[in-house]
Amino acid sequence: MLTRRNILLTASSLPVIGAAPAASAQSSWVPTRDVEFVVPFAVGGGADLLARVMHKIMVDEKLVPVPIVLNNRPGGGGATGISYVTSRKAGDAHTIILVNGSTQITPILNPAAKTLSEVRPVMNVMLDDFLLFVKGDAPWKDAKEFVATAKSRPPKSIPFATGGTTDVMAIAVFAKASGAEYNVLNFNSGGEALTQLLGGHVQACMGNPLEFMGHLQSKAVRALGVFRDDRFAALADVPTMKEQGIAAPNFQMWRGVAMPKGAPDDAARYWEGVLAKVVATPAFKAYIKDNIASEAPIAGAAFARFLEDQEKLYRDLLGKPA
């Protein structure tokens, strides 16, 4: 397994929640009406894709005895959707929310935003790495050539499209490591950022494999480098940043599920159990493999500690002490 140089935990070092199904069996709470699955990001991005896969598994495997309705409420790096939950769904155990690194980074960049601190994290399900993407016909063979071009031009000459605050942070990490400045253009989702790249409106994106795999396989986009210690086995032709002399720290996106604050503990245990069953299904494992991600179920107190560590990491990388 790869090392993360104490930047992020790997799936192999994360606590696997084998006890979650038993916790579900001990829960006295079960949903009695439709469940709303809020996705605080736009359709087509990584968060939306994951939510739809999880939703399909819950329905196909009959893991929840009531209908589950997806509700995309994008905007503000997750703030719009989470504000909707806090204002209209407080304490409602029939509501679950997709959360990820963006919902944790947004309030660091904008303290007025209501995001992760306004909900109750229940369980993380996966981690995925960041790569630098350009169009398939772009002139650069690797990130080293890309950086050389950026340094040869005036600052902020190369436009990046981003689909969230985690992408913004990945670019900040890359800029600091490469010694070049980039023009960051923000969009509502990874899907929108990808559209901008494919349309030639920007020259690069930072993103996770799951948002780009189809276009990567069709060669509509090309990956120039990855933020990790070794290459992906499934993308063996994509060098790491470190291989190319770019001393960027490893950087991943965590992805999980939360509930409104004030929901009963029994309901949290119930959803832990459901999510543990989701990540154990062949369909979810295939999704992880196909999108070159890492399965990483973390629940309860372990998830809380993980998020505390992530908060420290993000603040350190952004130079924003608590």
| Residues 18 and 122 placed together within one structural domain of the fold | yes
Closest CA to 37 of 20, 22, 24, 50: 50
pLDDT reported for residue 2: 30
Please say which residue of 244, 273, 306 terminates a domain. 244
| Residues 73 and 124 placed together within one structural domain of the fold | yes
Q: Letter for the amino acid at 226? A: V
| Residues 221 and 294 placed together within one structural domain of the fold | no
pLDDT reported for residue 1: 30
Mark residue 242 as left, alpha or beta (left: phi above 0; alpha: psi -120 to 50; beta: remaining). Answer: alpha
| Residues 228 and 275 placed together within one structural domain of the fold | no
Which pTM was predicted? 0.82
- Residue 146: inside a domain, yes or no? yes
Q: CATH no. for residue 237?
A: 3.40.190.10
Q: CATH no. for residue 298?
A: 3.40.190.150
Domain count, the chain: 2
- Residue 3: inside a domain, yes or no? no
Distance, CA of 90 to CA of 103 (rounded, Å):
18
- Residue 2: inside a domain, yes or no? no
> What is the per-residue DSSP string for 98-126?
EEEHHHHHHHHH-TT---GGGEEEEEEEE
Residues of the chain above pLDDT 90, percent: 74
| Residues 258 and 121 placed together within one structural domain of the fold | yes
| Residues 213 and 267 placed together within one structural domain of the fold | no
Q: Where are the beta strands (DSSP E) in 1-57?
A: 35-39
- Residue 1: inside a domain, yes or no? no
Closest CA to 147 of 213, 204, 211, 185: 204
- Residue 5: inside a domain, yes or no? no
pLDDT reported for residue 18: 37
- Residue 63: inside a domain, yes or no? yes
112-121 residue pLDDT tens: 887 999 999 9
| Residues 139 and 278 placed together within one structural domain of the fold | no
| Residues 117 and 145 placed together within one structural domain of the fold | no
| Residues 78 and 216 placed together within one structural domain of the fold | no
Listed as ranges, residues in the chain with pLDDT below 50 are: 1-25
- Residue 199: inside a domain, yes or no? yes
Please say which residue of 244, 275, 293 terminates a domain. 244
**Pair 148, 124: CB distance under 8 Å:** no
Residue ranges making up the domain that contains 309: 11-128+252-318
| Residues 313 and 284 placed together within one structural domain of the fold | yes
| Residues 63 and 75 placed together within one structural domain of the fold | yes
Please say which residue of 193, 213, 244 terminates a domain. 244
| Residues 122 and 174 placed together within one structural domain of the fold | no
The sign one gets for the Cα dihedral 254, 255, 260, 263 is negative
- Residue 311: inside a domain, yes or no? yes
